Homo-oligomer: A and B are copies of this chain.
Amino acid sequence: MNYPSGIKKEKEKNLLLEKTNYKNRGMTLEADINISNEYYREIDKAFIYKKPTPIKITKVDYPSRDKAIIKEAFFTIPSTTDYNGLYNGKYIDFEAKETKSKSSFALSNIHPHQIKHLENIYHHGGIAFLIVRFTTLNETYLLQAKDFLNFIKEEERKSIPLSFFKSSGYQIKDSYNPRLDYLKIVDSLIGGI
């Protein structure tokens, strides 16, 4: 089974993440978001979860009555973004991506149906955005879906320059708890809580 480039790397990262089980906090954007979401839940602020990695299971063994071992499965393309949940009575939905580039974020990182999904959520009153980390620069930005969608509509480019994140997005600074306080940005966008 083939799948789009980029998935393999992402899955390796996920696998690594599962193994390290938060031992290396802050190692990846995903780990930072997961730990921040845990914190938000602990303080009863928001209930946002990462969706499990979508897979197609093709073979399962049952060595005993209460055991099941998946012996063959394949990664599949996600239909939606990775994160969604409830914050302050509102539906929240976002995709998070890292790039090693120092100058731009390649649009090939986001699947077309994820773009369509963000568009649907935005048009139906949900809070939709991207979180993009430029790992080499250690800079993380929140970019609202409406600005992201406008960029795609108006520009022919196959990547979003860092300057666009700086001008139209919002930098999320690292903090202690939560590690990545992206809801602070959301508060400022929706008029606070």
Q: Mark A residues whose CB is within 8 Å of B.
A: 1-3, 5, 7-8, 11-12, 14-15, 18, 41, 44, 46-47, 49, 51-57, 60, 62, 65-75, 78-80, 84-93, 117, 120-121, 124-126
A104→B108 CA distance, assembly (Å): 50
Taking CB atoms, residues of chain B closer than 8 Å to A7 are 68
CA distance A84 to B91 in the complex (A): 10
> Bound complex: CA of A65 vs CA of B2, how far in Å?
10
Interface residue SS majority, chain A? mixed
- Copies of this protein in the assembly total 2
Q: If A57-B18, A72-B70 touch, does A89 touch B1 (CB 8 Å cutoff)?
A: no
Determine the distance from Cα of A47 to Cα of B145 in the docked complex, in whole angstroms. 16
CB < 8 Å: which of B12, B53, B88 contacts A52? B53
A67 touches which one: B1, B14, B69, B73 (CB < 8 A)? Answer: B1
- Residue contact B49 to A52, C-beta cutoff 8 Å: no
Q: How far is the CB of A193 from chain B (nearest CB, A)?
A: 11
